[in-house]
Structure formats: C-alpha cells, structure tokens
Structure 1
C-alpha cells in the first residue's frame, strides 16, 4: 500500500503554509519491514515498557533474523510466557528489564527457560482523538 509522503520533514515548531502537499509515496511495508520472511507484528498488553514509549495497544515490529544484543528491546519467552523487555546481558548475567520503575528486573536464574524470540525494530501506534 502506497501512501502520500511529504519530502519536507514536519516541523514541531511553527507551521509553514507552503508545505501542505505530498511529494512522493511511502510503502509502509518497505519502511517498517527489513526482512519480510522473519518479521512479525505483536500487540502490546500492559504498561511495563511505557518509559521506552511502548504503550498498551501499540503494535511491535519484531525481526527474528537479528541477533539480540545487550540493550535491545526484545520479545522473549520466559517459562512459556511471551514478554517484551529490554535485554541485559553483562558479565555472565542475563536479565529482562522493564521500562517502568513499578516493575522489578526479571533476572534469569539457572533452570529458567528463556528464548529470545526476536528484536523489536519498530512500533506502530494510534494517536487518540
């Protein structure tokens, strides 16, 4: 699906009346999806990632072909539950961190089952109104 895209960036300051037309087309699939065969979309439930600007109802764009590194936001299965968290991997320790101080870190202990399912590469959200 091709949608109109203005070539001039949108100002967050004072608007220019000369910039009220579309200059080219944007393919949302091409913009959001780098590797089509390994990209999936998931809807977020909950508020544990709100400080990363990921809110309840948002849609995550997740790429399974990217190797997860320390600091990436990932979708992971932990003991059978699918979660979105920030990956902490340092000095032999692995944890999944919420981006909301109301949630404690999920430190992975020996015997815990965890699979990093994919890396979050994008986000789609609706603006209320």
Structure 2
C-alpha cells in the first residue's frame, strides 16, 4: 500500500542546526509566574536568565529543526508551519511525538508500541493512524522535544 502526502503530515527536511559560533542570548526569567486563570499580582524581580538555545537544545550536536506541513497533529499542539525541535540522541518511547521515515517518506506522529507492533498515531480525527507493517522500511529519526509557533 503506497502512502500519499495527504495521509502523512509531511515535514520539510531542511535540516537546520545551530551554528557553533552562533551568539548566545540570555533573556530575563522573572520570579513570578503568570496565571492562566484569575489575574494575580506581578513581582517584577528577575530571578535568573535563560538562554533558549540551552533550554531547548540540551544536545545541540544531535538536535535540529524541521518545519511542519499538514494538519494531522493539531491535537498535540502542532500546526501547519510550526518549527519542531528534534533530538536524535533521545531514545524514542511509546507515547512520544517522533519524526519517522516510512518507506522513504517522512512524517511527524505519536509513537505507539505494543509488544512488537508499532503504530504512528495521528492527533487529528480527520487523519488515520498508520500501522507499520514488518515488510515496510521504517526508522525513527528523532524525538520532538519542543514546538515553536506564532500565536
């Protein structure tokens, strides 16, 4: 069975890795947390500084970014056009969102393993999940650790 691009939420494989000489930029992290419920008093004390490179790329030598194309992962908060931070050094576990290669095509899906059975689960009811058959070429490229999208 051939899988077409409407079944797979494709990722553009323009691999972007941090340049080793890229400047680091630490941003202030305030002591207060912002509530998502009722408003609360704000404390404007700077608690620390956070460099997003260090925060989002704990393994920069094995991390890269991919841009998403498709709607199959909306339920996981992954939208068309988002950037995914992918870590190749993390061992993929069932339940994690992964970048997988299946018969030469790439997709982003939630990994589901039960014994020897592997399934790539869509997070949008309009898209089917994919049961990986033993006769298919299958490889996991990495684990998605962060999603970057504009509001």
If the length of structure 2 is used for normalisation, what is the TM-score?
0.77
Please list the CA deviations of residues 30-85 of structure 1 after superposition, one character each: whole Å capped at 9, or x if unmatched.
Answer: 11111110111111111100011111111111110111111111001111111100
1:36 and 2:85 correspond: no
Find the aligned partners of 2:132 and 2:62 in 1 and give their Cα distance.
26
Counterpart pick for 2:79 among 55, 64, 72: 55
Question: Which residue among 91, 94, 109 is the counterpart of 1:85?
Answer: 109
What displacement does 1:98 show? 0.5
Q: Does 1:107 align with 2:131?
A: yes
Equivalent position of 1:125 in the other structure? 149
In 2, Cα distance between the equivalents of 1:69 and 1:96?
A: 12
Residue 24 (structure 1) aligned with residue 48 (structure 2): yes
What is the TM-score with the length of structure 1 in the denominator? 0.89
In the alignment of these two chains, the number of paired residues is: 127
- The farther-off stretch of 5-14 and 111-120 is 5-14
Contact kept? 2:27, 2:49, Cα under 8 Å: yes
- Computed over aligned residues only, the root mean square deviation of the Cα atoms, in angstroms, reads 1.6
Q: Choose from 68, 72, 79 the match for 2:92.
A: 68
> Partners in 2 of 1:73 and 1:124 — Cα distance?
14
Query: How far apart are 1:12 and its partner, in Å?
Result: 1.4
Unaligned runs of 5+ in 1: none
